[in-house]
Structure 1
Amino acid sequence: MMQISDSYNQKHSLFNAMNRFIGAVNNMDQTVMVPSLLRDVPLDMEEKDEMVNSNGATNYFSMRDMHSYYILLKSIRNDIEWGVLQGDDRKKDKNTMDKSRVEDGDAEEDLEKLFHYHLGGLHTVLNKLTRKANILTNRYKEEIGFASWGH
């Protein structure tokens, strides 16, 4: 019984979500032998419909072709694996914000809530990006005619 519960919790861990995303992007990268073939290839209609927000606005991905999407996913994977370099200005702004929060005296209470909020958001985004990397991989296979090969 404990093993089932642990498996369920591990499925929802940030570490596993990052590994799934990195694996999906690695698979995409190995499958897409000629990335330039993705230029000017639009997303299929089902995917476009899914990318319209409830207020009718389209999101970031829907404005791009599959090649731009491919480059973006690889860039995010690299940021996860190697870290994001931040300029001195961004660090100063962050330190200023952190200082003001500590001076307010409620920083310790907010840290746990803030952590859980961002953890949940990051997990959601990673799951969506993983799905999109898998969609791109399958769409590439369709475009070059080997969709019937193993997934």
Structure 2
Amino acid sequence: MMQITDSYNQKNSLFNAMNRFIGAVNNMDQTVMVPSLLRDVPLEEEKDVNPVRTASNGSTTYFQDGDMYGDYVLLKSIRNDIEWGVVQLEERRKEKLGVNALETTRVEPDDEDLEKLFHFHLNGLHAVLSKLTRKANTLTNRYKQEIGIGGCGL
């Protein structure tokens, strides 16, 4: 009984969620041979997800502003941040702005709140990674449909 619980918890671990996301983006990257074909292709969200926004006339729309190319670039960027870290990115931004690392200050939460804060962010990160993984898989499948290889069960 303990092994079943452990394997269930491992399946839902942050590490596995990151690996699923990275795998989905790698699959997307290997499938999308000509990323420029994604330009101007609207983002169609699956009908079983929450609507993205409500149009000015009150109707619900499942489209986001932008195109599949923008999501492709975003997903690859997030994958790179996970694999290589965001510290380097923050340091580069500060260098461009001329901000010295010693000049920046961080507000540290109280020690009593650290566990709650950690669980809050862990749950949020897990949820975001799951949505990004679905988005990468959807983009891969849409690309296959656009170039005519959809439905071949790859």
The alignment's TM-score, normalised by the length of structure 2, stands at 0.80
What 5-or-longer segments of structure 1 have no aligned partner?
102-106
Q: Using a 3 Å threshold, how does the CA distance of structure 1 residues 111 and 147 change in structure 2: closer, same or farther?
A: same
The question of 1:97 aligning with 2:103 is answered: no
Q: Counterpart of 1:13?
A: 13
Does the aligned pair in 2 maintain the 1:25–1:77 contact within 8 Å?
yes
Distance across 2 between alignment mates of 1:35 and 1:82: 23
> In structure 1, what residue type is equivalent to 2:52?
V
> In structure 1, what residue type is equivalent to 2:84?
W
Please give the secondary structure, in 1, of the residue aligned with 2:153. coil
The alignment's TM-score, normalised by the length of structure 1, stands at 0.81
Q: Counterpart of 1:4?
A: 4
Task: Looking at secondary structure, tell me which structure has more helix per residue.
Answer: 1
Q: Counterpart of 2:90?
A: 86
Structure 1 window deviating more from structure 2 (32-41 vs 84-93): it is: 84-93
Deviation at 1:117, TM superposition (A): 0.5
Q: Counterpart of 2:71?
A: 69
> In structure 2, what residue type is equivalent to 1:116?
H
Identity percentage of aligned residues: 68
Q: Which has the higher contact order (CA 8 A, sep 6+)?
A: 1
Distance across 2 between alignment mates of 1:12 and 1:93: 39
Partner deviation per Cα, 1:9-45 (whole Å, 9 max, x = no partner) = 0111100000000000000000000000000001236
Please give the secondary structure, in 2, of the residue aligned with 1:41. coil
Moved over 6 A (4+): none
Considering only aligned residues, what root-mean-square deviation do their CA atoms show, in Å? 2.5
What 5-or-longer segments of structure 2 have no aligned partner?
none
Deviation at 1:149, TM superposition (A): 2.4
Distance across 1 between alignment mates of 2:79 and 2:40: 23
